[in-house]
Amino acid sequence: MNYRKIVSILMLAGIVLSQACVTLPRINDTRPNFLIILTDDQRYDTMSYMPATVATIFDQGVTFTHGYDTTPLCCPARASILTGMYAHNTGVQTNTDSLDKTTFFYDLHQNGYYTGLVGKYLNSWKGETRPEFDYWVSFFRGESAYIDPRLNVNGTWSKQTGYISDILGNYVIQFLDQAAKQPRPFVLLFAPNAPHQPATPDPADENKLADLAPWRPPSFNEADVSEKPQWLQERLLTPKQIATDDAFRRDQLLTLMSLDRADARIFDEMTKNGQLDNTVIIFLSDNALLWGEHRMTSKNSLYEEAVRVPFAIRYPPLIPKPYVDDRLVANIDIAPTLYQLAGLRIPSNMDGMSMVNLFDGGAWRNALLLEGWPPRGVYSAVHTERYIYSETAGDKPEFYDLQTNPYELSNQINDPQYQNIIQELKGQLHQLEKQKGAPPVMDPGSVPTLSPTIVPTP
């Protein structure tokens, strides 16, 4: 065999081996594990009903007071989590849109991670397994029965017996046990359907919260919405609608209580397996939901009750002491964070930013884009920690100062004292609408308003 043939064979063998090593388990891989707990339609003000989850994640990590979902609708929100991109870049704008972008699961799987999903994937997905997952438990599209659900378990559909949070929790524990035997790190998305409608409580909880006080903030069944865009001109809620929503709110809280018990069992298993402290645990919801504010009992709007979500991270190597951070974080920031912590290059098409920057004093954003499409109005908004400016296609714009107008009752778009701020936000909004890829970072020393408010957790 001549020299050239030998060289060609060796080069070909090297290429084959290098490609194969991408998916082979890595012995003694010290990269962190990732566990993302993603609830469904959970409001930011409901964590008191999940004490075990709070104690393990929020009280031992960083709690973000300004955690947001950039498109408050299930499928677009989840697509943004999986890709780190705004909905105008993923192309997923409604619950029926399919996602054709590369997700962080694909890249982590290609780079040696043991991957799993337990729960909801995307509303536009029928529930069958996907090739980038080593372990798969899911249900059909976006919703499931809470009692005796039908699940796809690693490619096989079957009806399960019992309550869904218990069942999904058992599968998470099974995944963790299998992951503990792997010579490589894991990444798991635990995406229960709680507290999404129909929010059927665990029968063991049906008699709890019987004396729950009605939810009646100043914006409840708002008397005058004439200053808001036409697509938000809802009719006043009737007494029957109010009673129905009061009952649904209680059911939602009860489903969170049962989910909290599942979380507690999961944390116990991670402790037993030695996985808890070397796992980045992220908790958030895909979006939130209104309980009668502004006459609405839905989501898919720019109001705080729809876009602000519970958001916390626990990872002792980066967050040795618990604290509260008031900077703007969002669903689009999860993917780039995972890439950086996994030692991978962050794709240039990601609109989000790695939250590692928050932990090491790096620069951070001062505004986020919020977006919405039919079946509601087509709108986009820029959200800072204090202000919201929004434009609706073919209708009036909105502006709210959350410091003076926290319930977003009066549209302050024509208030003379805010006109300079509104003009600045308008320009910022139009820049964000065109964004493709991460925004340029700012010098934190030149923007003192971006420094975090750190409050030790009691």
Beta-sheet strand order (sheet of 387-392): 368-372, 379-383, 387-392, 398-401
Give the CA angle between residues 104, 333, 115 to the nearest 5°.
Answer: 25
Q: Which domain holds residue 266?
A: 30-361+438-456
Percent of the chain with pLDDT strictly greater than 70:
89
End-to-end CA distance of the chain: 74
Three-state secondary structure call for residue 8: helix
Residue 24, pLDDT above cutoff 80: no
Q: Please state whether the predicted TM-score (pTM) of the whole model is above 0.85.
A: yes
Residue predicted with more confidence, 62 or 436: 62
Residue 160, pLDDT above cutoff 50: yes
pLDDT, residue 131, reads 95
**Counted domains in the chain:** 1
pLDDT, residue 193, reads 96
Residue 369 located in a structural domain: no
Which CATH number belongs to the domain containing residue 157 in this structure?
3.40.720.10
Residue 451 located in a structural domain: yes
Residue 453, pLDDT above cutoff 80: no
Mean predicted confidence (pLDDT) in 276-280? 98
Taken as a whole, the chain contains a residue count of 458
SS (H, E, C) 387-423: EEEEEECCCCCEEEECCCCCCCCCCCCCCHHHHHHHH
Torsion sign over Cα 73, 75, 76, 82: positive
Residue 4 located in a structural domain: no
Residue 260, pLDDT above cutoff 50: yes
Distance of CA 262 to the CA centre of its chain: 19
Give the integer Cα–Cα distance in Å for 371 and 364. 21
Residue 247 located in a structural domain: yes
- Host H or E run for residue 249: helix 239-272
Judge contact between 69 and 286, C-beta under 8 A: yes
Mean predicted confidence (pLDDT) in 117-138? 96
Q: For residue 90, count CB atoms less than 10 angstroms from its CB and return exposed for 0-12, middle for 13-18, buried for 19 or more.
A: buried
Three-state secondary structure call for residue 205: helix
Taking alpha carbons only, the member of 246, 146, 261, 120 closest to residue 201 is 146
Angle between helices 164-180 and 239-272 (to 10 degrees): 20
- Host H or E run for residue 173: helix 164-180
Report residue 329 as tokens. 């974080």
For the stretch 56-112, pLDDT in tens is 999 999 999 999 999 999 999 999 999 999 999 999 999 999 999 999 999 999 999
Taking alpha carbons only, the member of 301, 309, 307, 291 closest to residue 222 is 291
171: left (phi over 0), alpha (psi -120 to 50) or beta: alpha
Query: Hunting for tokens 């100043």 — which residue is that?
Result: 218
Q: Which of 17-26, 229-238, 349-358, 373-382 has the highest mean pLDDT?
A: 349-358
Give the integer Cα–Cα distance in Å for 73 and 289. 10
Q: For residue 8, count CB atoms less than 10 angstroms from its CB and return exposed for 0-12, middle for 13-18, buried for 19 or more.
A: exposed
In this prediction, residue 27 has a pLDDT band, given cuts at 50, 70 and 90, of: low
Residue 58 located in a structural domain: yes
Query: Hunting for tokens 């798969």 — which residue is that?
Result: 136
Query: 229-265 in b/e burial notation, b at 16+ Cβ within 10 A?
Result: bebbeeeebeeeebeebbebbbbbbbbbbbbbbbbbe
Residue 309 phi/psi, 5-degree rounding, is -130, 160
Residue 2, pLDDT above cutoff 60: no
Judge contact between 161 and 145, C-beta under 8 A: no
Q: How many CA atoms lie within 13 A of 370 on its CB side?
A: 31
Give the integer Cα–Cα distance in Å for 370 and 329. 12
pLDDT, residue 361, reads 82
Residue 308 phi/psi, 5-degree rounding, is -90, 130
Residue 119 located in a structural domain: yes
Taking alpha carbons only, the member of 268, 275, 263 closest to residue 182 is 275
In this prediction, residue 376 has a pLDDT band, given cuts at 50, 70 and 90, of: confident
For the stretch 41-52, pLDDT in tens is 999 999 999 999
pLDDT, residue 5, reads 38
Mean predicted confidence (pLDDT) in 439-452? 35
Residue 426 located in a structural domain: no
Going by their DSSP bridges, the two strands 156-159 and 150-153 should be labelled as antiparallel
The percent helix, strand, coil of the chain (3-state, each to 5) is 35, 20, 45
Give the integer Cα–Cα distance in Å for 354 and 296. 34
Mean predicted confidence (pLDDT) in 306-319? 97
pLDDT, residue 191, reads 98
For the stretch 177-224, pLDDT in tens is 999 999 999 999 999 999 999 999 999 999 999 999 999 999 999 999
Residue 20 located in a structural domain: no
Query: Hunting for tokens 């949070």 — which residue is that?
Result: 165
Angle between helices 74-83 and 334-341 (to 10 degrees): 20
Strand partners, 118: 137, 190
Residue 244, pLDDT above cutoff 80: yes
pLDDT, residue 82, reads 98
